[in-house]
Amino acid sequence: MTKRFYWKGFNQTVESSNVTAFMRENRIKDFDSLVKRSQHNIAWFWEAVNDFLGIEWFTPYKKILDTQKGIEWPRWFSGGRINITHNCVDRHTNTFRRHKTAIIWEGEDGQVRQMTYLDLYQQVSRVAQGLRDFGIKKGDAVAVFMPMLPETAVGLLAIAKIGAIFTPVFSGYGPEAIASRLNDASAKVLFTVDGFYRKGTIVDMKKTADAAVAISPSVQHVVVFKRLGVDIPWSEGRDISWDSFIKDKPPVSPTEKLSSETPWMVIYTSGTTGRPKGAVHVHAGFLIKQAEEVAFQTDLKDQDILFWVTDMGWIMGPWEVVGGLAMGGTLFFYEGAPDWPKPDRLWEMVEAHRISILGISPTAVRALMRSGDQWPGSHDLSSLRMFGSTGEPWNPDPWMWLYRQVGKERCPIINLSGGTEVGACFLSVHPVKPLKPCSLGGPALGMDIDVFDDNAKPVRNAVGELVCKKPWPSMTRGVWKDPQRYVETYWSRWEHTWVHGDWASVDKDGYWFLHGRSDDTIKIAGKRVGPAEVESVLVSHRAVTEAAAIGVPDELKGEVLVCFAVLKPGYGPSDALRQNLIGLVASALGKSTTPKTVKFVTELPRTRNAKILRRFIKAKYLGKEIADTSSIENLSSLDVIERAM
């Protein structure tokens, strides 16, 4: 689809936008010129952003960018001392925002709570002091396994306040997936809750947390927020309630003045080698990039209420908290399903809380669209002025439905794409450019992005590898405890070039599109899952000797899992075993990863060095022709895959 769409009020949006104000301040004539200048002179751009957004430093930085160790290992804002929590909370309490609402929360059961910036400051101070009393210090990891609650943000900010390392864990993970992250980070404290509601059912988080901590020896304390107030297992000496944890703690606590490159978060993304990768993000770079994106992409202003339908375990959770609060906005959190108890729950909340910026995935839109136009049509959605979207490619019908039926052609869809390791966006729509359905607009500001062919040459009007040719402030500072893995994963294909693993293209009008992953990683409803992580769960079953997991297209989720299992001698295929294996994956990695099916086979296609060739399994499953089979050692395996259908 090539037609451009202009939303109603386009000229007014351009005139009043934050990015237009930035261009005027820096005497830049138009947005295309800004993109080019921000790519050509990245040091100028990020210093100008820092000044424009009023980021506060305890000690001014001496140098914007230092690449003495190579662009793979940059140092940003060298010599400066800063803290994310000071910029997100502390400084606002000395301004007109002191009594402004910082967070609005709604539970699936209808409960509503609010925190002002002063409330947030005091709660963060109490939790920070509680962590200090536990002996937690700079560099120690503290994990957060919680749904989207105000206390989830409090935990994040308290951890950053004392210079510890925030380790978020997706609230839908099973014990094994949680434990792998706790152990890799050597987390000393885990924040969790007794449970929460999801589609009217209680999710027993404490039980899951207990099972994970049982195989995570580094965890010394578990702090439990009583969301539901239900009876739960309790380990005396290890477990402590949130209320007891902060009891008698002062509402004021010092904020550590940290070097710009101090790690503040290790957030995990699944890779294709079985062990999740811990992306390392630092105080200055992450803060400034997130604030820039919230300001220039979603155009957040003081009166806005930002709601991104996400989880703190995915990068958009920290993005919303750090970027939204740094800009002094109001955040909205919701713990449950956006379509429960009726398909209009999301629209009901938009109307009730006057949400103005709504971030939602294509998968969620597809699900809501199926329920019919009458559900958004029955609510006053006039408060909306921006949509955000990320996680997966769009297809035209749901894009148009959101734009027309929900936004009434008033609201741009700010489609963006980056990644956990990127800590930001490579590509993004901006509200000062025309919309093209399903497009990602173009390179995000300050990001020197390109599309390469197999010979590392820029390519247009054709699909190629999405790459970045210069460093950016929020890029991961390696893989936690494994710097070589970081270099091999992102920098080894072409010299001084980050290869992201996405297929991308740029059309004749200069609009950018994504076409899926160029590696084996599977995206289920926008959430990345490594096939080897799934396979390791399958082979843990006594009947399975080998397994392969692939992602196949799904109209609702984008992709779903299909698994293939080779059984040990003495075990035979059965529907009961199939269901057992499906349940095993869902239990270990979360219900969102529930496989569509498990197929039983006698062998899997592999190379001579025993690498399983998932792309050939996927091609056979989807009935696609395989032109070159030279890398397969056991060609008979392809017939086995075909017969398993």
Q: Considering the domain boundaries, does residue 76 fall inside one?
A: no
Instruction: Using the predicted structure, report yes or no on whether residue 631 has a pLDDT greater than 60.
Output: no
- Residue range 392-398: average pLDDT? 80
Q: Considering the domain boundaries, does residue 426 fall inside one?
A: no
Instruction: Using the predicted structure, report yes or no on whether residue 25 has a pLDDT greater than 50.
Output: yes
Distance CA 349, CA 464 (A): 41
Q: What letter does residue 405 receive in the DSSP assignment?
A: I
Q: What is the pLDDT of residue 8?
A: 56
Distance CA 239, CA 160 (A): 22
Q: Considering the domain boundaries, does residue 538 fall inside one?
A: yes
Taking a C-beta distance cutoff of 8 angstroms, is the pair 330, 99 a contact?
no
Taking a C-beta distance cutoff of 8 angstroms, is the pair 539, 546 a contact?
yes
Tens of pLDDT, residue by residue over 51-110, are: 999 999 999 999 999 999 999 999 999 999 999 999 999 999 999 999 999 999 999 999
Sorted by sequence, the CB contacts under 8 Å of residue 352 that are 6+ apart come out as none
Taking a C-beta distance cutoff of 8 angstroms, is the pair 127, 154 a contact?
yes
- Residue range 406-434: average pLDDT? 94
- Here the tokens at position 327 are 């800009």
Angle, CA of 464, 494 and 511, to the nearest 5°: 30
Residue 5 pLDDT class (50, 70, 90 cuts): low
Q: Considering the domain boundaries, does residue 155 fall inside one?
A: yes
Residue 515 pLDDT class (50, 70, 90 cuts): confident
Distance CA 167, CA 161 (A): 14
Among 259, 274, 301, the domain-final residue is 259
Q: Into how many domains does the chain fold?
A: 2
Q: Considering the domain boundaries, does residue 393 fall inside one?
A: no
Q: SS3 helix, strand, coil % of the chain, rounded to 5?
A: 35, 25, 45
Rg (CA), the chain: 24
Largest CA distance in the chain: 75
Q: Considering the domain boundaries, does residue 77 fall inside one?
A: no
Sorted by sequence, the CB contacts under 8 Å of residue 382 that are 6+ apart come out as none
Number of residues that make up the chain: 645
- Residue range 108-125: average pLDDT? 98
Residue 519 pLDDT class (50, 70, 90 cuts): low
Tens of pLDDT, residue by residue over 200-241, are: 999 999 999 999 999 999 999 999 999 999 999 999 999 999
Interhelix angle 531-538/575-589, rounded to 10 degrees, is 130
Tens of pLDDT, residue by residue over 585-611, are: 999 888 888 999 999 999 988 754 456
End-to-end CA distance of the chain: 35
Give the neighbor-by-neighbor strand order of the sheet with 165-168.
Answer: 239-241, 221-225, 189-193, 141-144, 165-168, 263-269, 277-282
Average pLDDT, the chain: 92
Domain of 601, CATH number, reads: 3.30.300.30
Question: Which domain range does residue 167 map to?
Answer: 90-96+111-259
Distance CA 529, CA 80 (A): 37
- Please name the amino acid found at residue 475: M
**What global pTM score does this model have?**
0.86
Q: Considering the domain boundaries, does residue 118 fall inside one?
A: yes
Among 259, 287, 305, the domain-final residue is 259
- Here the tokens at position 301 are 């202003």
Among 259, 276, 301, the domain-final residue is 259
Domain of 245, CATH number, reads: 3.40.50.980
Nearest to 494 by CA among 521, 517, 467: 467
